Amino acid sequence: MRLVVDRLGKEFPKAKGETLKVLDDITFSSSEEETIGILGPSGCGKTTLLRIIAGLEKPSTGEVLLDGSRVDSPNPKMGMIFQEYSLLPWLNVAENVSIGLEIRNASEEERREKVERYLSLVGLQGVAENHPYELSGGMRQRVAVARSLTLEPAMLLMDEPFAALDPQTRGEIQESIIRLKEVTGKTIILVTHSVEEAVFLADRLVILSARPGRIHKIILVDLKRPRDRASEEFVSLRVQVLNLLSDLAVASKADR
């Protein structure tokens, strides 16, 4: 699925008729089956941007197009995954994963088949009967990913989905995102504070400046897969992006 973000701007109303400009003139696009990593200082509008792409929030100016059609309401072709796991504690894993299908009145057979398929795709076999409290954080987040996948969205929007995980678990779940990408070919838009994660997963990086978020730079991640985090090219790109971000953070402090 092809995403076009065209001259997007967003202002929120403040007290006394003032407005807070959060996003300004954001333009980028994804090709089919691309993973885009979005990076930028805290408060620069990344979550707001994802919410607008998902149709949960209206832009003040500009527009978002999905395969050429304008987004103006929540779209079932988009799956959104947040930092919090948002699983329902009283349901077991299989029930959590199939909840969207249940809402759509899918048959029991379809539910069973998809729960099995998507749990195994995220590397979670044998926990269907368990409850969320019995799982580690990384497993819970995989359940959340499997739940989005059952609705077969063409695009996955992820807002710092792995921030709460320890590095080891985070590495494992990153591998399962790569496998998912290879198997399903979905377009993924990933907001993350981890430069390493962005360079590992993304085909392209969109770097936003401090609020109001503007496009600071778009970088093609031209590294072969499987990517080696210890390779010279990987480290050099990671350092380049880290430097960019720390300059942006310094510039935003100097503005205040």
For ligand ATP, the binding residues (CB under 6 A) are 12, 20, 22, 42-48, 211
From the CB of 212, what's the least distance to ligand ATP, in Å?
A: 9
250's contact among ligand ATP, Mg ion, none, with CB below 5 to 8 A by partner kind, is none
CA 31 vs CA 6, 72, 155, 179, 205: distances in Å: 14, 21, 12, 19, 13
> How many alpha carbons fall within 13 Å on the CB side of residue 82?
8
User: Which candidate, 23, 21, 29, places its Cα nearest to that of 8?
Assistant: 23
In this complex, which beta carbon is closest to Mg ion, that of residue 31 or of residue 42?
42
The first and second tokens of residue 180, run together, are 């998912």
88's contact among ligand ATP, Mg ion, none, with CB below 5 to 8 A by partner kind, is none
> Is residue 83 near Mg ion by the rule CB under 5 A?
no
From the CB of 29, what's the least distance to ligand ATP, in Å?
A: 20
Amino acid at 2: R
From the CB of 82, what's the least distance to Mg ion, in Å?
A: 9
DSSP letters for 105-146:
T--HHHHHHHHHHHHHHTT--S-TTS-GGGS-HHHHHHHHHH
> Is residue 60 near Mg ion by the rule CB under 5 A?
no
In this complex, which beta carbon is closest to Mg ion, that of residue 154 or of residue 245?
245
In this complex, which beta carbon is closest to Mg ion, that of residue 44 or of residue 180?
44
Residues that bind Mg ion (CB under 5 A): 47
